[in-house]
Structure 1
Amino acid sequence: MRILHVLDHSLPLHSGYTFRTASILREQGKLGWKTFHLTSPRQSGSSQAEEDAEGLHFFRTPPPTGVLGDLPLLRPWLEMRLTEQRLLGLAKTLKPDLLHAHSPVLNAIPTLRAGRRLGIPVVYEIRAFWEDAAVDHGTTREGSPRYRATRALETWALKRVDHVFTICEGLRRDIIARGISPNKMTVIPNAVDIESFQLSGEPDAALKKQLGLDGATVIGFVGSFYAYEGLDLLVDALPRLLAARPELRLLLVGGGPQEANLKAQARRLGVAERVVFAGRVPHREVSRYYDLIDLLAYPRHSMRLTELVTPLKPLEAMAQGRVFIASDVGGHQELIRDGETGRLFAAGNVAALTAAIGDMLDHQSDWPTMRLAGRRFVEEVRNWRQSVARYEAPYSRLRAQ
């Protein structure tokens, strides 16, 4: 089977999107399928027509150029046109059995147009809705004309593709509510590649000293600093936590749009010296920072994006045998068994977050059992071998038509 994937962006960029993509492609390769990979003009930092990254080969689509490419209203249209042109050329050469577009809709529309012209079945995989991500980034608001227009485009595409894939039950319910038949849809759950994750190790003493964490109990987060991640709640909770546990430190590894706001918040609350901003670190170094953290925190705010979409981070934490607390948004509830594989608290509630951290720290004797339960869950249920196997039935049916 030959599948041509159309992606927003890919490795060597690092994000939940690119890690999920890489895992899917590698697992499909293990099944004996031949996969090809095209990224949209939104892939940044690459000027090559083709590129190898971490063992995978990617075809690139050039970004729009000239004055028109700088116009916000025209740029998405130009990006779709360029993606379609690049896809048509590749498909004629590579002769795929299927075209597999991954969200956002800027990929689905050109893939549909190319598929119809060439007579190739088209599937569309929804990982999150573009309009909801735009709300969090502050570029639109829920219910705005732009939001409604984007939502309408997504629904238009969903109704016209040959099959729909999505990553979780929350998104599945939303798609069904748009009038899409459940028989036309398959959930490919987020998962982990167990072999890629080692159980947590001993802290690196030199790194611990370098970051000023000697003798500290460390609450931590590793990832991108987006507003929906709720890191502001962690900073808000810190003064209350320090009153009972002055040895606590908050370690934030990564960066993103909220970094300046979080630093200003820590200064305003008088806890700047207790918050360590480690910055972005190379992927190969991330485990060293994880090993410094006693308790991970995923305090996501409740909004459509977090209620509908399941993240990768809690699964990765379970794979490494780490303990964590997380807000009770829908995306977390779909992954985490409260009190068994992790601890949930009421989203958006600083008092509940503070209490959950305090309770976890007071009951560290329960941590070994929790670590084992989490590791068992990803080994037996949430692994990429099981998730990717779900592509086979719809792929085979469409290929036979």
Structure 2
Amino acid sequence: MRVLHVLDAACARPTDYALRTQALLAALRAQGVQTVHLSAAGACAADDRDAWPHHAWHLYRTPAPQTPRWLLRCCPDVANGAALALRLRRITRLTRPDLIHVHAPSVHASAAWPVARLGRLPFVVDADRRAAAGGGSRPFDRFVCARADALAAPSVEMRAALRAGGIRPRRIAILPPAADVMAASGCVARPSDTLDAPLLAYAGDLDSAAGLDLLLAALRDLRRNRPTLRLLVAGGGAGMETLEARIAATGLNGYVRVTGRLPARRAADVLARADIAVFPALAGSGTLAPSRHLLNAMAQGCAVVASDIPCHRDLLVHGHSGMLFAAGSRQALADVLARLLDGTYRLRPLGQAAAQCIAATHNWTAAAARYRRLYASVLADVRGGRHGC
């Protein structure tokens, strides 16, 4: 089986996307899948180093479109999509794949669909948040996703959102994501000012839907009886200044540290230093899949407290591999954290169960096996005459 993987331009730069993509490709190749790789056109900073393993795999690149600058400014997606489609057509003729797999972002499916249909090739698309959000994607992108031979969704909630938005291809497969890291070896050093203090940690987005206001309010309540309690926040970007203003307004300056934006593996190091990793996403926040940071925290054996939104309930078993609390409830969050901080003997068993869960089902070998089975079922449909339109 030979699969042509259509990747974002970030696959060749030192990014989390590149590390995840290369881990999946390596696992697929280890399971006997031949992989061909094509990257979309994309702007590249002068100081970006090439992170693609050229010594092991060849990467076909899409050159930047030769179009007037005004056209690129007006409709960059159209120009880049046309360049990717032309390049993809040449690469399919050269390599003769059995199937095309469009990795996230799903916008690249718009370039792959006409090529796949002209070449009578099945194609699989990784569905992302943009595809599931009705107002967040172009009508043609949604048209193309609906005509894929299969969509790969990371959760049941994502599949439901896709169907509710009118995207109903022949098959939507649930392929849970893999963690970026595995269990931490040995003890991880903690910040010097938290050595004798209980430490909470959060990693992820800093927007209001992430539930950070709720976490800050619960922290202030808990500090009345636990004055040494601290919080580390691994996140940055546009919401950082607003968050720091909220920290100051709640009187928590000096007790909450915000690291700024970090790569996923460095954020995982922050989580591994904490007694409890907290993920307080609000109900109705549009969270359709568990955070990568949540997976990484579990993989490293962190005791996890998370809101009981559907994608968290699918991943965590309350009281065994993590603790769930009523989403949006400040009192429920404070009560769960208080029980764990007062009964620290519970933290290690929770972390061990979480790490075992991730090691068994959310590793790259398991992810590759799911993709390989999906490829095989799509190809079987094609041979049986059930090819998409």
Which TM-score applies when normalising by structure 1? Answer: 0.82
Q: 2:198–2:230: 8 Å Cα contact kept in structure 1?
A: yes
Does residue 1:36 correspond to 2:19, yes or no? no
Please state how far the C-alpha of 1:286 moved relative to its aligned partner. 5.1
**Structure 1 residue aligned with 2:103:** 102
Q: 1:51–1:59: 8 Å Cα contact kept in structure 2?
A: no
Residue 348 of structure 1 aligns to a residue in which SS?
coil
Moved more, 345-354 or 326-335: 345-354
Please state how far the C-alpha of 1:152 moved relative to its aligned partner. 4.2
Q: 1:171–1:309: 8 Å Cα contact kept in structure 2?
A: yes
Q: 1:51–1:58: 8 Å Cα contact kept in structure 2?
A: no
Q: 1:38–1:60: 8 Å Cα contact kept in structure 2?
A: yes
**Structure 2 residue aligned with 1:208:** 191
Q: Distance in 2 between matches of 1:380 and 1:300?
A: 25
Please state how far the C-alpha of 1:45 moved relative to its aligned partner. 3.8
Residue 255 of structure 1 aligns to a residue in which SS?
coil
Q: Distance in 1 between matches of 2:333 and 2:276?
A: 13
Structure-to-structure mapping, 1:139-158, within 5 angstroms: 147=135, 150=137, 152-158=139-145
Q: Distance in 2 between matches of 1:263 and 1:246?
A: 20
Please state how far the C-alpha of 1:326 moved relative to its aligned partner. 0.9
Residue 4 of structure 2 aligns to a residue in which SS?
strand
Q: Which runs of 5+ in 1 are unaligned?
A: 133-142
Q: Distance in 1 between matches of 2:364 and 2:279?
A: 22
Q: Which runs of 5+ in 2 are unaligned?
A: 384-389
Q: 1:127–1:309: 8 Å Cα contact kept in structure 2?
A: no
Judging changes above 3 Å, is the alpha-carbon distance between structure 1 residues 396 and 359 closer, same or farther for their aligned structure 2 residues? same
Judging changes above 3 Å, is the alpha-carbon distance between structure 1 residues 182 and 63 closer, same or farther for their aligned structure 2 residues? closer
Residue 254 of structure 2 aligns to a residue in which SS?
helix
Does residue 1:160 correspond to 2:144, yes or no? no
Judging changes above 3 Å, is the alpha-carbon distance between structure 1 residues 43 and 343 closer, same or farther for their aligned structure 2 residues? farther
Please state how far the C-alpha of 1:309 moved relative to its aligned partner. 2.0
Structure-to-structure mapping, 1:2-401, within 5 angstroms: 2-8=2-8, 9-10=10-11, 12-15=13-16, 18=18, 20-41=20-41, 45=45, 52=52, 58-62=59-63, 66-71=69-74, 74-130=75-131, 132=133, 147=135, 150=137, 152-177=139-164, 184-192=171-179, 196-199=181-184, 201-204=186-189, 208-209=191-192, 212-281=193-262, 288-303=269-284, 305-306=286-287, 308-399=288-379, 401=383
Identity value in percent: 29
Q: 1:188–1:388: 8 Å Cα contact kept in structure 2?
A: no
Please state how far the C-alpha of 1:260 moved relative to its aligned partner. 1.3
Judging changes above 3 Å, is the alpha-carbon distance between structure 1 residues 225 and 39 closer, same or farther for their aligned structure 2 residues? farther
Moved more, 263-272 or 167-176: 167-176
Letter in 2 for 1:313: H
Q: Distance in 1 between matches of 2:176 and 2:296?
A: 14
Judging changes above 3 Å, is the alpha-carbon distance between structure 1 residues 154 and 281 closer, same or farther for their aligned structure 2 residues? closer
Judging changes above 3 Å, is the alpha-carbon distance between structure 1 residues 50 and 291 closer, same or farther for their aligned structure 2 residues? closer
Q: Distance in 2 between matches of 1:76 and 1:63?
A: 12
Judging changes above 3 Å, is the alpha-carbon distance between structure 1 residues 83 and 4 closer, same or farther for their aligned structure 2 residues? same
Q: Distance in 1 between matches of 2:379 and 2:236?
A: 43
Q: Distance in 1 between matches of 2:348 and 2:100?
A: 45
Moved more, 40-49 or 266-275: 40-49
Q: 2:149–2:169: 8 Å Cα contact kept in structure 1?
A: no
Judging changes above 3 Å, is the alpha-carbon distance between structure 1 residues 168 and 68 closer, same or farther for their aligned structure 2 residues? same
Please state how far the C-alpha of 1:66 moved relative to its aligned partner. 0.9
Q: 1:49–1:61: 8 Å Cα contact kept in structure 2?
A: no
Q: Distance in 1 between matches of 2:57 and 2:228?
A: 45
- The total of aligned residue pairs comes to 377
Q: 1:69–1:78: 8 Å Cα contact kept in structure 2?
A: yes
Please state how far the C-alpha of 1:220 moved relative to its aligned partner. 0.7
Judging changes above 3 Å, is the alpha-carbon distance between structure 1 residues 397 and 11 closer, same or farther for their aligned structure 2 residues? same
Letter in 1 for 2:270: Y
Q: Give the superposed CA RMSD.
A: 3.1
Residue 283 of structure 2 aligns to a residue in which SS?
coil
Which TM-score applies when normalising by structure 2? Answer: 0.84
Please state how far the C-alpha of 1:171 moved relative to its aligned partner. 1.7
1:108-142 Cα shifts (integer Å, max 9, x gaps): 1111012122332211121323464xxxxxxxxxx
